[in-house]
């Protein structure tokens, strides 16, 4: 396959923004911030994906309020103090060919916990060494038997929180991010409004599907109004809860149709997370196990989608795009394993590119090395 025939390395235009290729680095929490501030870990961790050829690079979920964090280590965007670090990060990504993107989130009842490698349990003031904070949700339903009950957000507090999302988007734009994604997945706050398993409100924000979608759609409307017309707004959803009586594919298709009408440009299709860790989807796992969700939402709601979940090699990613199952390919843990995944994928699909697309500081040396290895018979 030559370069011209590769969908994975063709650009995608969303509104006035062109993404140079279809490889996306999915948001991945690093739990390494202090008071939500970007540090050198985030710059190096995310910067290497831009150097590695990805077209769109997301920060991890950035909390729109201090009490919207999952852990004390989460990135934040609840104050202007967060802008300089985020600006440095966005500038580096753009300088090295990637579109800088940010995901805005609020953990809701899944907040105030330990980092995953510390056990992920609810923070305890007397044992954790880090202060817990009161959690919020759609309804006062705890995540588990060992978790504290969250406070149900009142209509007044919902208005305040909506403004926090808008303020966070403004900071992201000021910092130079060109893609904003709203996190409505993995059991975090806005997903808690969507699912009937976590939303048992009796007011206008609870009840049937339309009512449960109301607050997330209000946030979308507020964000779309503050984001410049030429820049896209994305939404990540868990297409299914994979729990009895939970959010379903049919619900997601209907929600995606409303998101499209509200000016959302692409749906990032994941699954699960409502009753446990974000990565513990109840859907059986196999290569590309969430791709059918992206395909169904794309087809039925007539909106571009992003596929994610055990997409591990170039031919698999290319086939997903060629078969019109999705418009973008997101990789996460595969990128942790190989930060140069995108460059290797391009070589696999278009061998004639050699090292021409690699950063000059690296590609020049590797091209010379390849010539030596060919002489030694180590390369075809």
Q: What percentage of residues in the chain have a pLDDT greater than 90? A: 89
Q: Please determine, for residue 23, whether its predicted confidence score (pLDDT) is greater than 80.
A: yes
Q: Please determine, for residue 280, whether its predicted confidence score (pLDDT) is greater than 90.
A: no
In the structure, how many helices (H) and strands (E) does the chain have?
11, 12
Give the pLDDT of residue 123: 93
CB 270 within 8 A of CB 276: no
Give the pLDDT of residue 2: 46
Three-state secondary-structure class, residue 155 = helix
Give the pLDDT of residue 130: 87
Q: Could you give the residue numbers annotated as active site?
A: 188
Spell out the residues 6+ positions from residue 319 whose beta carbon is closer than 8 angstroms to its own: none
Cα–chain-centroid distance for residue 128?
28
What are the tens digits of pLDDT across the range 139-191? 999 998 889 999 999 999 999 999 999 999 999 999 999 999 999 999 999 99
Q: How far is CA 244 from CA 274, 275, 282, in A?
A: 12, 12, 11
Spell out the residues 6+ positions from residue 367 whose beta carbon is closer than 8 angstroms to its own: 354, 355
Tokens coding 50: 């831009």
In 3D space, the residue among 6, 85, 18, 10 whose CA is nearest the CA of residue 47 turns out to be 85
Question: What band does 378 get if pLDDT is binned at 50, 70 and 90?
Answer: low
Give the pLDDT of residue 267: 98
Average pLDDT over residues 296-307: 98
What are the tens digits of pLDDT across the range 57-77? 999 999 999 999 999 999 999
Question: What band does 126 get if pLDDT is binned at 50, 70 and 90?
Answer: low
Give the pLDDT of residue 56: 98
Give the pLDDT of residue 4: 56
Report all structural domains of the chain as residue ranges with CATH numbers, in order of start. Answer: 3-349 (3.20.20.70)
Question: What band does 20 get if pLDDT is binned at 50, 70 and 90?
Answer: very high
The chain-wide mean pLDDT, for the chain, equals 95
CB 297 within 8 A of CB 327: no
Strands 233-238 and 266-270, by their bridges, are: parallel
The H or E element that residue 101 is part of is: strand 99-105
What is the C-alpha to C-alpha distance for residues 142 and 53, in angstroms, rounded to an integer?
42
Average pLDDT over residues 39-52: 97
Q: Please determine, for residue 278, whether its predicted confidence score (pLDDT) is greater than 80.
A: no
Q: Please determine, for residue 82, whether its predicted confidence score (pLDDT) is greater than 90.
A: yes
Give the pLDDT of residue 308: 97
Rounded (10°) angle between helices 155-175 and 209-226:
40
Give the pLDDT of residue 277: 72
What are the tens digits of pLDDT across the range 187-218? 999 999 999 999 999 999 999 999 999 999 99
Alpha-helical runs (H) found in the chain: 40-51, 83-95, 155-175, 189-194, 209-226, 249-261, 291-301, 314-322, 333-337, 341-349, 360-375
Give the pLDDT of residue 205: 98
Tokens coding 348: 């696999």
Question: What band does 275 get if pLDDT is binned at 50, 70 and 90?
Answer: confident
Give the pLDDT of residue 1: 45
Give the pLDDT of residue 281: 58
Tokens coding 30: 């690093």
CB 273 within 8 A of CB 262: no
Instruction: For the beta carbon of residue 344, count every other beta carbon within 10 angstroms.
Output: 14
- 4 DSSP assignment: G
Give the pLDDT of residue 273: 94
In 3D space, the residue among 269, 335, 332 whose CA is nearest the CA of residue 27 turns out to be 332
Counting beta carbons within 10 angstroms of the beta carbon of residue 51, is it exposed (0 to 12), middle (13 to 18) or buried (19 or more)?
Answer: buried
What is the C-alpha to C-alpha distance for residues 192 and 105, in angstroms, rounded to an integer?
12
What is the C-alpha to C-alpha distance for residues 239 and 254, in angstroms, rounded to an integer?
11
Give the pLDDT of residue 146: 87
Cα–chain-centroid distance for residue 33?
18
Three-state secondary-structure class, residue 361 = helix
CB 28 within 8 A of CB 334: no
CB 23 within 8 A of CB 329: yes
Average pLDDT over residues 267-296: 87
Q: Widest CA span of the chain, in angstroms?
A: 74
Spell out the residues 6+ positions from residue 284 whose beta carbon is closer than 8 angstroms to its own: none
Spell out the residues 6+ positions from residue 97 whose beta carbon is closer than 8 angstroms to its own: 20, 50, 53, 55
Contacts 24+ apart (CB under 8 A), 210-218: 213/254, 213/255, 213/258, 215/138, 215/158, 215/190, 216/182, 216/184, 216/190, 216/255, 217/258, 217/259, 217/262, 218/162
């Amino acid at each position: 396959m030559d370069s011209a025939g590769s969908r994975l390395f063709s650009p995608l235009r969303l509104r006035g923004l062109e993404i140079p290729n279809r490889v996306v680095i999915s948001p991945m929490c690093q739990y390494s911030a202090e008071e939500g501030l970007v540090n050198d870990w985030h710059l190096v961790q995310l910067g290497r994906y831009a150097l590695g050829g990805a077209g769109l690079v997301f920060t991890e979920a950035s909390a729109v309020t201090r009490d919207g964090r999952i852990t004390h280590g989460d990135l934040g965007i609840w104050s202007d103090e967060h802008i300089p670090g985020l600006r440095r990060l966005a500038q580096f990504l753009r300088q090295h060919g990637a579109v800088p993107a940010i995901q805005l989130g609020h953990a809701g009842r899944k907040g105030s916990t330990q980092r995953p490698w510390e056990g992920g349990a609810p923070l305890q003031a007397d044992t954790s060494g880090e202060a817990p904070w009161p959690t919020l949700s759609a309804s006062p339903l705890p995540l588990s038997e060992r978790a504290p009950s969250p406070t149900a957000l009142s209509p007044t507090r919902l208005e305040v929180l909506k403004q926090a999302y808008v303020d966070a988007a403004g900071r992201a734009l000021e910092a130079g991010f060109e893609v904003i994604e709203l996190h409505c997945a993995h059991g975090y706050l806005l997903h808690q409004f969507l699912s009937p398993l976590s939303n048992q409100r009796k007011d206008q924000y609870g009840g049937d599907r339309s009512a449960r979608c109301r607050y997330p759609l209000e946030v979308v409307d507020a964000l779309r109004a503050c984001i410049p017309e030429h820049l896209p707004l994305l939404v990540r959803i868990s297409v299914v809860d994979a729990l009895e009586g939970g959010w379903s594919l049919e619900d997601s298709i209907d929600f995606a149709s409303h998101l499209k009408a509200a000016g959302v440009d692409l749906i990032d299709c994941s699954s699960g997370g409502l009753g446990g860790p974000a990565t513990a989807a109840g859907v059986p796992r196999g290569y590309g196990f969430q791709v059918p969700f992206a395909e169904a939402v794309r087809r039925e709601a007539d909106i571009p989608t992003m596929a994610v979940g055990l997409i591990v090699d170039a031919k698999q990613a290319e086939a997903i795009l060629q078969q019109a199952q999705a418009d973008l390919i997101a990789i996460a843990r595969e990128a942790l394993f190989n930060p140069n995944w995108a460059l290797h994928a391009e070589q696999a699909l278009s061998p004639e590119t050699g090292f021409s697309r690699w950063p000059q500081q690296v590609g020049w040396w590797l091209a010379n090395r390849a010539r030596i290895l060919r002489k030694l018979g180590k390369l075809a």
